[in-house]
Structure 1
Amino acid sequence: MRKLPVWLAVLLLAATLGLVAPSTASAAPYCGINWGSQAKSASPMVRSPIINVRSGQHPCFDRLVVDLKGKAPGYTVRYVKAVYAQGSGKKIPLRGGAFLDITVKAPAYNSAGHATYSPKHPKELVNLAGYRSFRQAAWGGSFEGITTIGLGVRAKLPFRVFTLKGANNVSMLVIDVAHRW
C-alpha cells in the first residue's frame, strides 16, 4: 500500500473536519437582497414637476432615478405584461423579459402647462448599454398630473422603490432592480 504525502493527508483531514470548504469562487458579490417582486406604492399626489430621469449601475443592482423639483411624489411600480402610454393608452414597446410600469404621481409640466422634462429620445430615456438588469427605459407621457415610464428588464427580478430628499429642493424617486435573486 502506498503512503499518502503529508500535505494531502492534512488537506483530507481538514476537509473531513470542515475546516476547508469547497471553492465557490464567484465574481458576484454577496448582496443579501430580499426585496421581492410584488408591486410597491405610496399615495401622495404632488404638483412637483419631473425634471430629469437618470440611471446608474451598482455591484448588486441597476438604478433608475426620477428627479423632481419639490416634494417627493407618490408612485406605483409593478411588473405588468405591457406598459401603456398616458392619455392615448397605446402599448409602449419595450425590450426585455419582464416589464415594470412606473407610475409617478407627479406631472412633467409646470402649473402653466410648460414641459419641465421633455426627453430627447422618448424610446431610450437613458443609455442602458452594458447594464446587467435593465434593457430599456421608455417615456409613457404625462397626463392629468400622472407620468408613466416603462422599464424593460432582463427578467422578473426583485426590486425596491423609495424616495430621497436632495439638495436645492430636489426630490428623487429611486427604483433599484437586483441583478439576481
Structure 2
Amino acid sequence: MRRLVLIGVCVAALTAAACTPTRNTGTGGTTTAPGSGSSSAATVTTGPGGGATTAPVTAKPATKTAAGTPQGTWKVRYNWNIPSTRVGIDNPHAMPLPRLAEIHVGNHEKDGFARISFYFRDGMPSYNFNYAREVLNEGQGEPIKLEGNSFLRIQFSNARQHDDESHNSLKVKPANHIGFTRLRSYAFGGDFEGYVTYGLGIQSTPNSDHILKIRVGELTKKPDGKGGFFYVVAFDVAQN
C-alpha cells in the first residue's frame, strides 16, 4: 500500500512539471516584440559639390522589458562615413518645435566607438553635420572651445533649447570635458530662431591625415519613465 502511494505522488509531480510554462527573456531581462525589422532608403543631402547620396535606413523592431514597456525603435541615418561636406537629415516636424532636454555620453570603445546622444521632447528634429576647421558660436561668430585636433559641427533645425518661458530646457548634461580616447569634448554653439548648434572635439591620430568615421542613429519614442517619451539623435565616433 505504501509503495502505491509513493508511485502516485511521483506521477503527479511529473505531470505538473510537464505542464508548467516557461518564459525566455533576453539579456538583462528583455524580450523582443513580435515582428521583424524592415529596411528602407533615405536620401542624405550633402553640401556643394557633394551631390546626393542614398544611405540605408535600418529600422529595428521595438523591444520590451520584462514588464512589457516598449523601448522605442532604432534606425541608422548615416552609416560610418566621413562627412567632409555638410550632410542634412530631414524629419517631419510640427509645432511645438522639438526641445532639447538631455545630453548623454557613452564609452563603447570595446565595441569600436564612443557616443554622444541628444534627447529631445515633442518630436525628432532635422539636423545637419560636417567636419569643420572650427565650430562657430551662432550668436557671436566666435570659435567655441573644443579639445582634440578635429571638430564636428552639429546643427539641429526646427528645434530649440528653451521652454515657452524662454528658460533653458536642457536639464541633464555631462561635463564638457568628456575625456574618451577619441571623443574628447563637446560645447554649446547657440540656440537661435529654430536652430541649436553644438560642436564635438575629436582626437584623431596625431601628425596624420586620418579622419575618424561617424555614424548617426535615431531612437524614436524612448520612454522617460514618467509616462512620456524622448526622441534621441546619437552621434558615434569610430575608435579607429
Aligned twin of 1:152:
201
How large is the Cα RMSD of the aligned pairs? 2.0
Give the Cα separation in 2 of the matches to 1:50 and 1:132: 26
Find 1:114's aligned residue among 153, 164, 167: 167
Change (3 A) 1:72 1:157: same
2:230 is equivalent to residue 170 of structure 1: yes
> Where does structure 2 lack aligned partners over 5 or more consecutive residues?
1-78, 205-210
How big is each residue's C-alpha offset from its partner over 1:23-55, in whole Å with a ceiling of 9 and x where there is no partner? xxxxxxxxxxx7111243212456010011110
User: How far apart are residue 119 of structure 1 and its match?
Assistant: 7.6
The runs of at least 4 aligned residues of structure 1 exceeding 3 Å deviation read 118-121
Aligned twin of 2:239:
179
| Structure 2 letter corresponding to 1:142 | D
Aligned twin of 1:56:
106
How big is each residue's C-alpha offset from its partner over 1:49-85, in whole Å with a ceiling of 9 and x where there is no partner? 0011110011210000001112111111110011011
Give the Cα separation in 1 of the matches to 2:233 and 2:167: 22
| Structure 2 letter corresponding to 1:51 | A
Aligned twin of 2:81:
36
How big is each residue's C-alpha offset from its partner over 1:89-115, in whole Å with a ceiling of 9 and x where there is no partner? 111121111000011121101233222
Show the 5 A alignment for 1:1-181. 35-38=80-83, 39-44=86-91, 47-58=97-108, 59=110, 60-105=112-157, 106-117=159-170, 124-125=175-176, 127-129=177-179, 131-155=180-204, 156-165=211-220, 166-167=222-223, 168-180=228-240
Report the TM-score when normalising by structure 1: 0.72
- Does the 8 A contact of 2:104 with 2:173 survive in 1? no
Give the Cα separation in 1 of the matches to 2:172 and 2:193: 18
Report the TM-score when normalising by structure 2: 0.55
Give the Cα separation in 2 of the matches to 1:120 and 1:170: 15
Identity percentage over the alignment? 27
- Does the 8 A contact of 2:102 with 2:173 survive in 1? no
With a CA cutoff of 8 Å and minimum separation of 6, indicate the structure with the bigger relative contact order: 1
User: How far apart are residue 135 of structure 1 and its match?
Assistant: 1.2
Higher strand share: 2
| Structure 2 letter corresponding to 1:109 | H
Bigger-Rg structure (1/2): 2
Aligned twin of 2:51:
none
